[in-house]
Structure 1
């Protein structure tokens, strides 16, 4: 389910309706420096799609009429989710879009979830701001692996967050990868002890990310 706090509501957005002409839509986007804006129906309830500035530029360059309706260049008509949609549907729907439309329980346009806001939410859930290291652990994919890895790590420290990122290599073999974020108090010495303990039990630790170093190189902006 999408947290409503992540969604920018319709009342805070600049939108156009299906009867708006391209010239008006373009001026709105240029004035507000928007790549695209949502298009609603005449009642301003139903989501129709998005209108992109680049498509209007191309339309005008090709000799198209700027008095044409925005519906002539509508895009992303099916790129929407509901407030109660599962996270994975949200994640795979947004992909490289600047935002996705959010519909309420009546399938009326509720607002948008921006790509930036989604990434910020993921970053927070991963505890990047308050972690020390992220260790990537490869396991055989057997029952009980996660429990055993967690048991080994918690002998030395608490776990801030954990995420599973299984993938398939070029040979078709599944790689069972689990990423553990460790708290900020974990030292390099303790990290090495954790890695050694994991490897003694047959787990591989091919990658370690130093979040402290990352934060120095690329500061995370506060909201």
Structure 2
């Protein structure tokens, strides 16, 4: 899955211009009830981020009268995070390592043209989908030794039991020779038979719960 398939497009985004006053920008942030906005120039190029927190902090540090500072200071003077962006053709997982304790992430093309944003909520929503959290079922956690053909064995077991897979995720174990697997299947599967077949195939079942 790529970033472009999950981002909010430019038409759904609120942005600030570099010459916009902080007063106008803060009013927009408050009106739209958002924490931050991308800063985009007239050519559509992404320049950085502006947030209510940055505006308040700058106002406090300036020593000027609040009204004067907000009215006479442009966004370009205090904007931050010019590097807080991701390319639209990147895989979605890369958003996890690109967020820098900021509520949004800009999505751009190879020329840094602004295309949209990804929010923390978007990331959370996608991971809920990865783990099948929006559909009830049976969650089975088990470990498998690193060996070829282990997923073929798992597929054979699930096919034999007519188990419909909702989600499947793997995790690295501390032991490099083993890997944790979390599988979620439909509720109508016979968990006793599934556990028995998994263990006979060499998997170590850790937990089975309804989820």
Q: TM-score range by the shorter chain?
A: 0.7 to 0.9
Q: CA deviation at 1:36?
A: 0.7
**Hey, what's the Cα distance between the residues in 2 that align with 1:132 and 1:176?**
22
Q: Which gives a bigger RCO, structure 1 or 2 (Cα 8 Å, sep 6+)?
A: 2
Q: Which residue of 1 aligns with 2:91?
A: 86
What is residue 221 of structure 1 aligned with on the other side? none
Whether the 8 Å contact between 1:17 and 1:44 is mirrored in structure 2 is: no
Q: How many pairs are equivalent? A: 203
Contact 1:152 1:197 (8 Å CA) reproduced: yes
Q: How far apart, CA to CA, are the structure 2 residues paired with 1:127 and 1:185?
A: 16
The TM-score normalised by the length of structure 1 is 0.79
- Runs (4+) of structure 1 exceeding 6 A deviation are none
- Separation (CA, whole Å) in 2 of partners of 1:159 and 1:73: 50
**More displaced, 130-139 or 146-155?**
146-155
Name 1:214's counterpart in structure 2: none
Matches of 1:112 and 1:74 in 2, distance apart? 17
* SS of match in other structure, 2:143: strand
Structure 1 gap segments, 5+ residues each: 212-223
Displacement of 1:59 in angstroms is 1.8
Alignment partners' CA distance in 2, 1:108 and 1:44: 8
The root-mean-square deviation of aligned C-alpha atoms, in Å, is 2.4
Which whole-Å deviations, capped at 9, do the CAs of 1:36-62 have from their partners, x for residues lacking one?
111112x15111111121121122222
Equivalent of 2:165, from 159, 165, 171? Answer: 159
Aligned twin of 1:49: 48
Give the Cα–Cα distance (whole angstroms) in 1 for the partners of residues 183 and 24 of structure 2: 50
TM-score, normalization by structure 2: 0.83
Change (3 A) 1:98 1:48: same
